[in-house]
Chain A
Amino acid sequence: MEHGIRFRYLSTLCFIVLVALCGCRESEQGRRLDTGKGTYAGAPDQQLSAEAREALGRRAEYQRF
C-alpha cells in the first residue's frame, strides 16, 4: 500500500517538474510582456516600391468580370 502512495507521489512530482520545465524553453526566456496598448516593438519592414504600388493598382483590374 505504502509503495503505491510513494509511487503516486513521485509520479506527481515528476509531472510538476516536467510541466515547470516546459515553460523554461530557451525561446521563451527574456521575453517582453506588456499588456498596455503600445507601439510596434518588432523589426522594421521594407516599404513597397513605387513600381510595385503602381503595378498593384493595374493588377486589380484582372478581377473585374
Chain B
Amino acid sequence: MSSRSSIAGTALDRRAFLRNSGVVAAGTALAGLVPGGRVEAADATPAGSDGIENVLSVCTHCSVGCAVTAEVQNGVWIGQEPSFDSPFNLGAHCAKGASVREHAHGERRLRYPMKLVGGRWERLDWDRAIEEVGAELERIRMTAGPDSVYWLGSAKHNNEQAYLFRKFAAFWGTNNVDHQARICHSTTVAGVANTWGYGAMTNSYNDIHNSKSIFLIGGNPAEAHPVSMVHLLKAKEKGAPFIVVDPRFTRTAAHADEYVRIRPGSDVALVWGMLWHLFENGWEDQSFIQSRVWGLDQIREEVARWTPAETERVTGVPGEQVRQITKTMAENRPGTVIWCMGGTQHTTGNNNTRAYCILQLALGNMGKAGGGTNIFRGHDNVQGATDLGVLSHTLPGYYGLSEGAWKHWARVWGVSYETLATRFSSPELMQSKGIPVSRWVDGVLEDKENLDQPESLKAMIFWGHAPNSQTRLPDMRRAMNKLDLLVVVDPYPTLTAVLHERQDGVYLLPAATQFETYGSVTASNRSLQWRERVVEPLFESKPDHEIIYRLAKQLEIDGPLFRNIEVRDDEPVIEDITREFNRGMWTIGYTGQTPERLRKHMANMRTFDRTTLKAEGGPCDGEYYGLPWPCWGNEQLAHPGTPILYDTSQAVADGGLTFRARFGVSRDGENLLADGSFSKDSEIEDGYPEFTMAMLKRLGWDGDLTEEERAAVESIAGDKTNWKTDLSGGIQRVAISHGCAPFGNAKARTVVWNFPDPVPLHREPLYTTRRDLVSDYPTYEDTRGYRVPVLYRSIQQRDYSKDYPIILTTGRLVEYEGGGDESRSNPWLAELQQEMFCEVHPRDANNAGFQDGDDIWVEGPEGGRVLVKALVTRRVDPGVAFMPFHFGGRFMGQDLRHRYPEGADPYVLGESSNTIGTYGYDSVTQMQESKVTLCRITAA
C-alpha cells in the first residue's frame, strides 16, 4: 500500500497548487510571503526527511472540545485526520473544525508588529513595539493612574495564558480586565452559581445520551456547537423528545420534535408558565424539593400569576403548547435543559438563567445522569478563561476581590499582599469590581465625575477580542478615537484596526494561534484537555504568554510575576504556569489536573467511555476524561474528576457531589442546609456547612491531617483556614476521606436575596414593541454598577416602536465564529458565506417593498444603520428580523477594506450587526442586551 510518507515535498506543492488555482477573492493575491522570522515553518519542506508525525491538539472554535489530529511533516502542517478516539467528537468536526489547518497557511494573518503613523501602517520590530507600547503605558500610568488602562483578554487564551493575563493585570494594578465571558455567559455563571454553587455546565455533552427529554432554549447548536448535535440526536434517536424554544426556526429547530416560537425576551414568562402547569398538576418532585431545594414557596407565589392566558399574552406561545411541553418534560425524566446566548444576553439575563435552574429543580432533574443544566459555552476556552479569572470582578478561581482573596493569591504567587497593594491607586479600587468589557466604551466617554475611578480610560488593549461582538459600535468608534493608545494583540488585525478614525497611536502585535503553542484548555463540560504545539509560530507572531513576559519585562514587573515560573528564551514555561494555578485553585478543584495527568489522558483518550467519560482499564482506569473540575485535592489524592455536578449517588472521592453550602446555614429562620440528603458514603448523613479547620476539630477529624498539612493550615489562618485557602489540600483530603464534599452540603436556593430580583421576574426589554406590557412588567430604575452609570427606565420610558417597529435579534452562523476576523480570513469558510444579510419575514419585506437578495438598510433607534442583503424567509416571524454578528469591515455603508494593513484584510467583509446593537445591560453582571432591540428596515 502506498503510504503518505512517499509524498516528498507535499506541503510545498499543496501550497503551490492552491496559489496557482486562483483563490483570489478580493484585494491582494495569495502569493509572495513576506520575509519574516519563522516563515519557513509554514512554507518550506526541507528535503530528505519523510517522517509524518500526528500531533494532537484541540479545535479553537466552540467549547465542545473536538480533538484535532494534525499531520506534520518537517514542521509543516500537511493534513488533518479525524480524531476517532476522542470521546467528545468521535472523529467529527464542523465546517470550522474541518478547516483549522488553514491557520498554518495564514494567508491573511498579521505578519509582524505594526503601528499607525499618519494614517499609514508601518512595520516595526518586536523590541521597538514593546518599548513604545510600554513607554506609553507608563506615561498613562503616571498621569492618569493604572485604572486608565484596560486589559481586554480572551477566551482564546489557553488556561495558562488566561491565568497569566489575570495575574499580569493584578501586578499592573487594576481590575479593569475582562474577556468574552462577560458578553457570553456571565449571567449564567452568576445566576447558576448563586443557585447551587458553581456557575458551569453541570453534566456533559456526552451525558445527554442519557436524557429522556431535551429542552433547549435560546441556543442553536446546529450552527454554534455542531458536533454537540451528534450527542443530542443520539438521545433523540433513543426516544427523548427534543423541544426547541427560539424566536427563530433555527437549523436546530428543524430537527426538533416540538418547536416553540417565543417572543424575544420573554423567557422567564415562558418558564413560569410551564411551572404553573407543573404545580397545578402536582408534577413537581416533592421529595427532591423537600430535601434539596430552598425557597420554592416564594417562587410558587410569583408563578401563580402566570396563568396560561397571561403566559400566552407575554410570550406569544399558545397556552396548549406550554401545557404540552411541560407534560412532556414531566413524563420524560430525567430531562436536560440546555441554553445559550438566547437566554443570557438580556437585561434580565440572570433572571432567565435562574428560572431555567428552578425548572430543573422543580422537576428533580439535578445531580442526575441525563438531567442537569447543560450550558453550552461559546468559545474553546471561555470556560477556562472564566475559571482563571480574566474578569473584572474576581481573581482566578472565583475568589472575588476581597482582601482575603488577594492574600490567598499573594501566598500562591510568593509575594506580600502589601507589595501588590502598592501597584493599585487605592485599597478601595483594589477591592472593587473593574469596568466590564461591555462598558469600556463608557469608561472612555463618560465624564470622569461619573466614574467610580479617578480618571477615564486612556488606553485599550484588545488582546484576542473582536470589537464587533459588542453592542453600540458607533459609540465604540468615538471611544476609540478618544483614546491615547489602542493596541491589538491578535493573529489578525481585527475590526479594531480599522473601525476607528485615528491617524496614529494604534499598534498591532501579531499573536500566535493555539496551534502554534501548547497548554491546557477547558471544554464546556469542565474537562481539561492538553494541546501540543502543531507548528512553530507563523511569520513573526508570538504566543500570548511570551508577549505578556516581554511586556512585563519592559514594565519591570517580571521579577515578582515570574517568581515561580521559569522563562526560556523569553517564553515562560507553560507547565510551570499550570503547576502554579494547581497550587491556588482550590475553590473549583483545578488542583489535581497536572500537565502530566492531562497528557496521559490525551494519549489514552480511546479508553474513555463515550457516554460516561470514564476510563475502563488502561493507564487512566476509573478517571473521567479530562478530569472535569472539581478535581479535588492535589495530585497525590488522584481524584478522578467530577463528571456530573451535585450527583449524590456517587461518593465525592469517585466524582459525586452535593449542592454547595455557599450562602450561610440559615435564612429567615429556615435551614439552608440539605435535609436528609447526602452523597454516597458520607459520614455526615445530613446537610453540613463548608469545611474549615475549626469544623474538622469539632468533628474530631483534625487528627487525620499530616504534620505538614497541619503546619500549613496553622500558618495560613489557624482554625479559620478553610477548604479554599488551605494550600496543603489537607482539609479537602480529610473531608473527602470521610465521604464529605469540602464545600458543604446545602439546598439549592431558588431565591437569591442579594440580587435585584430575588425571585426571577419577567421585565420587558428596554426597546420593546409591546408598550402595553411596559407598565405591567417595567424594567429597573436607573442605577450604578461596575464603576459606571447603568440606565434602564430612562430608556424604556420612551416609545421607539412607532419609528422602529421590528424586533431585531442576533446569532451565529456555522461558518464563522465571534467577530469573524479569523474565520472570514479562511478561504475555505469565507467562500461559503460571502454576504452579510438580514433575515426578514415575507410580510415585512412586502410591506417595505423589497425582495430576497435586495440591498436594504436596517436602522436602529440609537442612530446606527447597516447596509445588508435581504434574506426573505419564514425562519423569522412577522415583526422579527435576525442578523448574524460575525461580520465587520463595513461601517454604515462605508467600505473599510483599504484601512487594513496590506494583505491582512479578511476575504469577506460586511456590516456588523452591532452597529445597530443598542444600550442595555444585565442587572447583575452587565451582560449586554444583544438579543432584543428594535429596528426599521427599508429598501436601499
Contacts and interface: CB of A to CB of B under 8 A. Distances in A.
Asked if A and B are interacting partners, one says: yes
Interface of A: 46, 48-49, 51-52, 55, 62, 65
A52 B234 contact: no
A20 to B, nearest CB: 25
Nearest to A53: B1
A62 B82 contact: yes
A65 B235 CA distance: 11
B1 A52 contact: yes
B92 to A, nearest CB: 9
Contacts of A46: 2
Contacts of A55: 1
B712 interface: no
A65 B1 contact: no
Contact of B234 (A51, A62, A65): A65
Contact of A62 (B1, B2, B84, B230): B84
Nearest to B231: A65
A48 B2 CA distance: 9
A46 B230 CA distance: 37
A53 B90 CA distance: 23
Given A51-B1, A55-B1, 5 more contacts: A48-B1, A62-B82, A62-B84, A65-B90, A65-B230
B805 interface: no
Q: Which applies to chain B's interface (DSSP): helix, strand, loop or mixed?
A: loop
B91 interface: yes
Contacts of A52: 1
Interface of B: 1-2, 82, 84, 90-91, 230, 234
A46 B6 CA distance: 15
Contacts of A51: 1
A2 to B, nearest CB: 44
Contacts of B84: 62
Contact of A49 (B1, B230, B234): B1
Q: Which 7 A-B pairs have the closest CB atoms?
A: A49-B1, A52-B1, A51-B1, A62-B84, A62-B91, A65-B90, A65-B230
Nearest to B92: A65
A62 B610 CA distance: 13
Contacts of A49: 1-2
Contacts of A62: 82, 84, 90-91
14 contacts: A46-B2, A48-B1, A49-B1, A49-B2, A51-B1, A52-B1, A55-B1, A62-B82, A62-B84, A62-B90, A62-B91, A65-B90, A65-B230, A65-B234
Contacts of B2: 46, 49
A27 to B, nearest CB: 15
Contacts of B234: 65
Nearest to A61: B84
Nearest to B230: A65
A48 B82 CA distance: 22
Contacts of B91: 62
A48 B26 CA distance: 42
Contacts of B1: 48-49, 51-52, 55
Nearest to B91: A62
A55 B3 CA distance: 13
A6 to B, nearest CB: 38
Nearest to A51: B1
A9 B230 CA distance: 66
A57 to B, nearest CB: 13
B238 to A, nearest CB: 12
Nearest to A49: B1
A35 B91 CA distance: 44
B725 to A, nearest CB: 45
B917 to A, nearest CB: 39
A52 B2 CA distance: 9
B853 to A, nearest CB: 33
Instruction: Give the interface centre of A48, A51, A62 by most chain B CB atoms within 10 Å.
Output: A62
Instruction: Give the interface centre of B1, B91, B230 by most chain A CB atoms within 10 Å.
Output: B1
A55 B90 CA distance: 18
A61 B572 CA distance: 43
Contacts of A65: 90, 230, 234
Contacts of B90: 62, 65
Nearest to A46: B2
A50 to B, nearest CB: 8
Nearest to A59: B84
Nearest to B82: A62
Nearest to B233: A65
A52 B82 CA distance: 18
Nearest to B85: A62
B438 to A, nearest CB: 40
B277 to A, nearest CB: 36
A51 B234 CA distance: 33
A52 B84 CA distance: 19
A21 B807 CA distance: 58
B203 to A, nearest CB: 19
B54 to A, nearest CB: 16
A52 B4 CA distance: 12
A46 B2 CA distance: 10
A27 B234 CA distance: 53
Nearest to A64: B90
B234 to A, nearest CB: 7
A64 to B, nearest CB: 10
Contacts of B230: 65
A9 B267 CA distance: 73
A58 to B, nearest CB: 11
A58 B631 CA distance: 37
Nearest to A52: B1
A19 B912 CA distance: 45
Instruction: Give the interface centre of A48, A51, A55, A65 by most chain B CB atoms within 10 Å.
Output: A65
B90 to A, nearest CB: 6
A62 B2 CA distance: 22
A48 B646 CA distance: 54
A62 B69 CA distance: 15
